[in-house]
Amino acid sequence: MDLFLLFLAAFLVNNIVLLRFLGLCPFFGVSSKLETAIGMSMAVIFVMTLSSIITWLLYNYILVPLHLVYLRTATFILVIASLVQFTELFLKKSAPALYKALGIFLPLITTNCAILGVAFLNIDYGHSIIQTIVYAIGVALGFMLALVLMAGIRERIEFAPIPKPFRGLPIAFILASLMALAFLGFVGLFGLSL
């Protein structure tokens, strides 16, 4: 039950993009088309889960016992960058179609602050390895949810008469504002809070 609540909190109540402000750059950069949104989300789910596990192991079994906690930031980001490189190479070889579909988004994931953010949060919240996995998957799916919803709306809104200064990004931000407002409604679900 606790794990389910953890998942729910990560997925909805504390949605990483809309309520915790992580992962915004790709959120606005990639959500103009539904297809690309889905592609990016899949990549994020994969990288986020894997990097959370690896950084958790790195932190708890190497950094802490060796009193090297202050190297946390540097090592985590290097792990993520390496993971992304590795994923790129791996996909290129084994699933070239998928690799092509993801295109530029794969390297972009390195700077997705949500990935590094979640790695840090797992440590700060003192998650166990199981909780880490559940949390990472929950957050990634929450990212996907927000991204897909946003893309869906943005595709439609292209045909609306938007005032010139607002076209493109500003209107997307207004959309995000409304979505965040809606998601705030999830606060209190099963007693979960922000």
Using alpha carbons only, give the angle 81, 84, 85 rounded to the nearest 5 degrees: 85
Query: What is the token pair recorded at 192?
Result: 């979960």
C-alpha span between 109 and 104 (Å, rounded): 9
Selected from 61, 86, 90, 166, the binder of another protein by CB under 8 A is: 166
Q: Nearer Cβ to another protein, position 19 or 44?
A: 19
Using alpha carbons only, give the angle 182, 44, 22 rounded to the nearest 5 degrees: 45
C-alpha span between 56 and 61 (Å, rounded): 8
**Residue 184 in contact with another protein, rule: CB under 8 A:** yes
Between the CA atoms of 38, 40, 43 and 46, what dihedral angle is there, to the nearest 10 degrees?
-70
What would the x/- binding string for another protein be over residues 71 to 100, using CB under 8 A? xxxx--xx--x-------------------
Phi and psi at 70, nearest 5°, equal: -70, -10
- From the CB of 69, what's the least distance to another protein, in Å? 9
**Residue 29 in contact with another protein, rule: CB under 8 A:** yes
Q: Nearer Cβ to another protein, position 95 or 169?
A: 169
**Residue 192 in contact with another protein, rule: CB under 8 A:** yes
- From the CB of 99, what's the least distance to another protein, in Å? 19
- Only segment of 55-63, 67-75, 90-98, 136-144 that touches another protein (CB under 8 A): 67-75
Q: Provide the residue type at 66 as one letter.
A: L
Q: By CB under 8 A, how many residues form the interface with another protein?
A: 49
Tell me the three state secondary structure of residue 30: coil
CA atoms within 13 A on the CB side of 20: 23
**Residue 153 in contact with another protein, rule: CB under 8 A:** no
Residues that bind another protein (CB under 8 A): 18-25, 28-29, 70-74, 77-78, 81, 110-113, 116-117, 120-121, 124, 163-167, 169-174, 176-178, 180-181, 184, 188, 190-193
